[in-house]
Structure 1
Amino acid sequence: MANKRGKKYLEIAKLVEQGRLYEVKEAIELVRKTRTANFVETVEIALRLGVDPRHADQQVRGTVVLPNGTGKTVKILAITSGANIEKALEAGADYAGAEEYIEKIQQGWFDFDIVIATPDMMPKLGRLGRILGTKGLMPNPKSGTVTPDIATAVSEFKKGKLAFRVDKLGSIHAPIGKADFSEEALLENFTAFINEIVRLKPSASKGQYLRTVAVSLTMGPGVKMDPVLVAKNA
C-alpha cells in the first residue's frame, strides 16, 4: 500500500526516534518542533489506561482546569431559564435560553461546542439524549456541565476547563494547548491533566494504570513518553 504521508510530514517524522520513550520535558520540546501545517496546530495528549471501561467501577471521567487554557475559543450554549439566562450571558455564554434552543437542536442546529445546563432543565433536555449523546454533547454532572451555578461553569469552560472520558478501548484523547504555547505553558497543562487522570484512578484498576502516554500536534507524528516516569512524577 502506498504511503500517503506528505514530504513535510515524512521529513519531520525523522526527528522522532522510533521505539524510544521520551522524558516529559524532552517530549514537549520535541513536539513543538514537529510543525508542518500552515495554521497553529493543537497539541494533543493520547493515553491508554489499564482499565476495562465495560465495567462501571472502571470508568474514568472528569474535568480539569488547564492553567494556561487550551488555546481554543469554545462556543457555549447554556440551557437555563429566568435570571440564569442573563447570568450565563454575562459569564461568556454564546447562547442562553431554554425551549427555543432545544427546538433549534431538534431541527439540526449545532453551532456550539459545549452545552451547560441547570438541573431544572434536564427533564426537557431528555428528549435530546440521542441527538446530543452521539456527539458527546449531553450535559452531565460528572463533566461539570449540569450545575445550579451556571455562571461559574460557563466562566471556567471559557477559560480552559476541559471535560474528558475514557472511550471503549480504554483510551483518552484531549487537547492540552497550541503549538505556539511556550514549553513551560505546555508542561504546566500536561502536568495538570496527568495529575487529574492519576487522581481518578479506579480502585478496581489493577496493574499498570498508565499504559501508554504520547503527545502530538494535529498534523504531526506522536512522541511517546515513558509512562512509568510520567506516573512517578504525577
Structure 2
Amino acid sequence: MRRTSKRYKNVKSLIESELYSPEKAIEILQQTATAKFVESSEAHFSLNLNPKYADQQLRSTVVLPHGTGKKIRIAAIVSKDSGLINNPETGAEKIGSDELIEEINQGYTDFDVLLAELDMMPKIAKLGRVLGPKGLMPSPKAGTVTKDIIGTIQEFKRGKLEYRVDKTGIVHLNFGKVNFTKEQLLENLSTVYKSILQNKPTGVKGRYFKHLHICSTMGPSIEIDFSAF
C-alpha cells in the first residue's frame, strides 16, 4: 500500500473541496510547494475531446510571456548550404545535416526540441521510429518545421512550448517554476488557457472545458473555476 508522507498530508490540508479562482489557486500552489528543490507549476486541462476522431484532435504551440523556467536543449536539422552548421550564433545545442540525421537514427536524443527545415523533411521521415515514441518528431503543427531556424530557436528559448491532448482528453503542461511571482504564473496560465480556447477543435459538441487542476511537481492538485478567467 502506498504511504502518504507527513509533508504531503500537511500541504493537502491547505486545500478545501471547492473551486478556486486562478489567483487564489496559484497562491495555494506556491504554499504547497515544500519539496527540497524548485518545483515546476503544472496545469492539467480536462477537455471534452475524443482524439481518436480527426476533428477532435488538439495540438498547437504557445509562447509563455515569462517562459517555463527550464533550460531548453534544442537540436536542428538544416541543409548543408544553409550556412548555419558550425555557426555559434544559432543558439542551438546541436545543429547539423545528414550526419545529425544518422546520429539520431543511431539513438541520439539528447535534446528537448528538434527543429527541421522544410526541405529536410523527406530525409528525416525515417526517424519516426526513434522520435515518434518520444514526441520529438518535427511537425508543422508543433511549430518545429520552419524556414526560419534562428528565429524559431529564439522563440523556444524564450518560452515557446508545444501542447497536445492525450488519448484521455487531457492536456498536461508546465507553466513556470513555483519561484516565479504570482503575477508571472497567472499571466502564463492565462496565456495557455486562451491558446487552448482559440484552438478549439471543430468537432467539439457541448461544453469544451471540463476541469482544470494545477499543482506543483510534488504537491496536491487544486481545481480552478474556469469562469474566473
**TM-score, shorter chain, exceeding 0.5:** yes
SS at match of 2:138: coil
Q: CA deviation at 1:61?
A: 1.1
Structure 1: stretches of 5+ with no match in the other structure: none
Which residue identity does 2:65 align to in structure 1? Answer: P
Q: CA deviation at 1:89?
A: 4.5
Q: Is the 8 A contact 1:58 1:205 kept in 2?
A: yes
Q: CA deviation at 1:7?
A: 1.4
Residue 63 of structure 1 is aligned with which of 50, 61, 64? Answer: 61
Which residue identity does 1:169 align to in structure 2? Answer: T
1:152-167 equivalences under 5 Å are: 152-167=151-166
Identity between Structure 1 and Structure 2 (%): 46
Distance 2:178 2:89 in 1: 30
Q: CA deviation at 1:36?
A: 2.2
Go from structure 1 to structure 2 and tell me whether the alpha carbon gap of 1:7 and 1:219 turns closer, same or farther (over 3 Å shift): same
**Alignment correspondent of 1:24:** 22
Which residue identity does 2:181 align to in structure 1? Answer: S
1:176-187 equivalences under 5 Å are: 176-187=175-186
**Alignment correspondent of 2:139:** 140
Which residue identity does 1:141 align to in structure 2? Answer: P
Structure 2: stretches of 5+ with no match in the other structure: none
**Alignment correspondent of 1:168:** 167
Go from structure 1 to structure 2 and tell me whether the alpha carbon gap of 1:120 and 1:30 turns closer, same or farther (over 3 Å shift): same
SS at match of 2:141: helix
Which residue identity does 1:15 align to in structure 2? Answer: L
Q: How many residues align?
A: 228
1:1-234 equivalences under 5 Å are: 2-17=1-16, 19-81=17-79, 82-86=81-85, 89-227=88-226, 229-230=227-228, 233=229
**Does 81-90 or 8-17 show the bigger shift?**
81-90
Q: TM-score, normalised by structure 2?
A: 0.95
Distance 2:185 2:71 in 1: 17
Q: Is the 8 A contact 2:78 2:95 kept in 1?
A: yes
SS at match of 1:140: coil
Q: Is the 8 A contact 2:90 2:150 kept in 1?
A: yes
Q: CA deviation at 1:85?
A: 2.0
Distance 2:2 2:139 in 1: 42
Go from structure 1 to structure 2 and tell me whether the alpha carbon gap of 1:7 and 1:88 turns closer, same or farther (over 3 Å shift): farther
Q: Which aligned segments of 4 or more residues in structure 1 are displaced greater than 6 angstroms?
A: none
Q: TM-score, normalised by structure 1?
A: 0.93
Distance 1:83 1:108 in 2: 25
Q: CA deviation at 1:51?
A: 1.3
SS at match of 1:193: helix
Which residue identity does 1:32 align to in structure 2? Answer: Q
SS at match of 1:139: coil
